[in-house]
Amino acid sequence: MNILEELNNEQRAAVEHIEGPVMVLAGAGSGKTRVLTYKVAHLINLGVDPFSILALTFTNKAAREMKKRIITLVDNHDARNVWMGTFHSIFARILRIEAHRLGFPSHFTIYDTDDSRNLMKSVITEQELDTKIYTPAYVLNRISQAKINLVTPTVYNSDPQLLLQDKIAGRPKTGHLYSLYQNRLIKASAMDFDDLLLNMHRLLEEYPDMLYKYQQKFLFILVDEYQDTNYVQYAILKKLAANNENICVVGDDAQSIYAFRGATIQNILNFKSDYLDAFTYKLEQNYRSTKTIVKAANGVIVNNKDQIFKEIWTNNEEGHLIGLLKATTDSEEGALVANAIFENKMNHQLRNDAFTILYRTNAQSRAFEESLRKLNIPYRIYGGLSFYKRKEIKDMLAYYRLVINNRDEEALLRIINYPARGIGKTSCERLALEADRSKTSICEVIERMPDRLFDIPMPTQKKMNDFMVMIKSFSIQLKTRNAYELAREIASAAGILKELHEDKSPEGISRFENIEELLNAIHDFSEQQERLSLTAENLENVPRTLDEFMQEVALLTDADTPDSEDPDHVSLMTIHAAKGLEFPYVYIVGMEENLFPSIQSLNSRADLEEERRLFYVALTRAMKKVTLSYAENRYRWGTLTISEPSRFIDEIDFAAFDIPKKVSFIPEENRFMTSGSDMQGTRDQRHPFRKNFKRILPSSGDDLPAPGDDTDLIQVGMNVEHARFGTGKVISMEGTGPNKKATIYFQNIGQKQLLLKFAKLRIR
């Protein structure tokens, strides 16, 4: 069997081109992995020694699947000898062979992220530096950026510009910490992840015989996802391929979305400049998505200037129009998306795993998790923990648990020294032992410490006592303070907000956003009762308390998590985590300016274009239908802020949208008030009606008829309709005259109590 007959014309041409530099621009869903796999198989079928083929991928899973497929295609177990794997795994393999050249034993240790963080923490502590300023995450992020740009500690500490940057940032000792950290790694015969790249480059740069050896060994080099390579990876590939230039890179500049990790799109954009005789093959047929989705994606990405032009097309069906959901708040957005999934699932007899929800930041998952739970729809978080299981959230909730119950020892031991307040592990262990001996709680042990003899230093005893005084001061306020106000004050007094806000690494920013989202959830909970009091001005304003919120969270987090072995669940993930995946139905949520595109991306055209590529990736994950959603208002730190629909929505052809029947218009001059921040200049004017009008999509209740005044007729058991909350059933009534209230169970949002004189209910 000729395996090449399974390829289309363009795929086959790329596979058959063996010698010299080749770039395969593979659009989304065009068979990129297929080309890479068949090219390796074709080389082996031509008699090329598998040991001389180097194939680099970005995930071990991809490497395993490709190698398995190659063995099937060539029916030759020698195919197992292809050097196929991730950059880190392949270079670690080489470094173990050649480690003595760099002064390392062959059994050197590879430090993972936690190992590196613990080592850096020790270095910072030993230097008696403030860990709130020199956080391990920040310093390690700075060091990582240096390493992937081939900046060693010696170079770093002799570079005036880098040293000035650290001084301006208020961390002038960063370069010194880099040196100490690297010395400790060498002393421990260890390398971190970035060292595997940096030391591979050193091996080729400093030892000409090593460069010659591996140039002769790897006669054919293939690279997957070339648009995601960083500078040190690019430099290594350039050296390895310099002899015969038999290098084939496969990728898509339109899917370059990892700049925050150090990836640079210039590697793929400049490939033809690096290899002047390079051939380019474009895989433009999309086998994944419908015509509607492909056209929408093309309409978005065409707005980028830094790209290699290609026109993606498909022979698939026209397919569904693109859905667009407008919510009043982020919480309502969660409900609308969950309800849409439920309706789609029921109406078309679909499985849960047909759906995915994609968001820009992990913090957005909370509203969708809660809404899916209410509808008993199983789901799974990918690329991160479930919102309420993330460490920073568990830390914050531990403070709230301890305020509510001072005897909660697990919560106490978790946070008594977080953020760091000088209470060591040994002292905590002695506290726990004394509590066990005296059969009392750790809290009580701390309270009577001054009257007892403990083998704990007095300064530490004072810190423990101060901690419990802080906790108990909040306990006193528990029943009188609004849940949000108290929760925010605890987060501030505990030092968690300051700790996370000062960590500017990508992980630190994500953790900070998650705490913000938790406080938003508490604010939303608090507002539920206060909204009623705003409507009923003569009712007493009874605040909802923190212990009530924690009770709801306990019920939420105690719910059985979806069985990880059962694949039938809705997938929730960031768009970055969705790269390389595909789903029949995709919901892209949070489509708002300053969220997507991110506010951090509006400072330069390059950053904005990366955000647009990220949206392109999100669109092209879908096979059958895409639905976009946004909220008109979103809470940020307890303040309701007005949100503007994302500019990316406007870049999709209006005809591609499934617009609800009722559409209202307002003059164009009132739309996109911040259009001056658009780095692309004037907005797309391809559609004549956009010159004069802006489309405003209705909220969930906008299509309802104007409510009548049925107040005096409403009774328990009746079905009623509310302009915002939808259809519900009256459960109970209380009060008389203007103070008459009804408790109603609404299908979409649950139970609400409304003052009838303001509710304007309509009997169904």
- Catalytic positions: 32-33, 224-225, 255, 621
State how far the Cα of 294 lies from the Cα of 286, in Å rounded to an integer: 8
State how far the Cα of 722 lies from the Cα of 151, in Å rounded to an integer: 63
Q: Read off the DSSP letter of residue 108.
A: P
> What string of DSSP letters covers 408-447?
-HHHHHHHTTSS--S--HHHHHHHHHHHHHTTS-HHHHHH
Contact 649, 593 (CB under 8 A): no
The H or E element that residue 95 is part of is helix 87-98
3-state SS class at 481: coil
Residues 6 or more apart in contact with residue 296 via CB below 8 angstroms: 322, 619, 626, 652, 653, 656
Partner residues linked to 190 by β-bridges: 109
Pairing, β 741-746 against β 726-734: antiparallel
373 C-beta neighbours (distance < 10 Å), count: 15
Q: Which of these, 407, 408, 386, lies nearest to 398 by C-alpha position?
A: 408
> Residue 560 class from Cβ within 10 Å (0-12 exposed, 13-18 middle, 19+ buried)?
exposed
State how far the Cα of 113 lies from the Cα of 94, in Å rounded to an integer: 22
Phi, psi of 113 (to 5 degrees): -60, -45
The CA-CA-CA angle for residues 363, 365, 368, to 5°, reads: 145
Phi, psi of 175 (to 5 degrees): -60, -40
Partner residues linked to 110 by β-bridges: 191
| Token representation of residue 329 | 């708040």
CA 679 vs CA 599, 607, 670: distances in Å: 13, 10, 20
Give the torsion sign (CA, 462, 463, 466, 471): negative
State how far the Cα of 25 lies from the Cα of 227, in Å rounded to an integer: 10
Strand order in the sheet with 247-251: 83-86, 53-57, 220-223, 247-251, 22-26, 279-283
763 C-beta neighbours (distance < 10 Å), count: 13
The CA-CA-CA angle for residues 466, 469, 474, to 5°, reads: 135
| Token representation of residue 546 | 């923190």
State how far the Cα of 190 lies from the Cα of 170, in Å rounded to an integer: 30
Q: What's the distance, Cα to Cα, between the start and end of the chain in Å?
A: 68
Question: Which residue, chain included where needed, has tokens 């658009």?
Answer: 678
State how far the Cα of 524 lies from the Cα of 484, in Å rounded to an integer: 8
Partner residues linked to 570 by β-bridges: 379
State how far the Cα of 356 lies from the Cα of 621, in Å rounded to an integer: 9
Radius of gyration of the chain measured on its C-alpha atoms: 30
State how far the Cα of 35 lies from the Cα of 41, in Å rounded to an integer: 10
| Token representation of residue 421 | 């307040």
3-state SS class at 457: coil
Q: Which of these, 5, 412, 19, 3, lies nearest to 247 by C-alpha position?
A: 19
Partner residues linked to 280 by β-bridges: 23
Q: Read off the DSSP letter of residue 43.
A: H
**Where are the extended beta strands (E) located within 490-575?**
570-574
Describe the crossing of helices 391-404 and 506-535 by its angle, rounded to 10 degrees: 50
Report CA dihedral (177, 183, 184, 186) to the nearest 10 degrees: 150
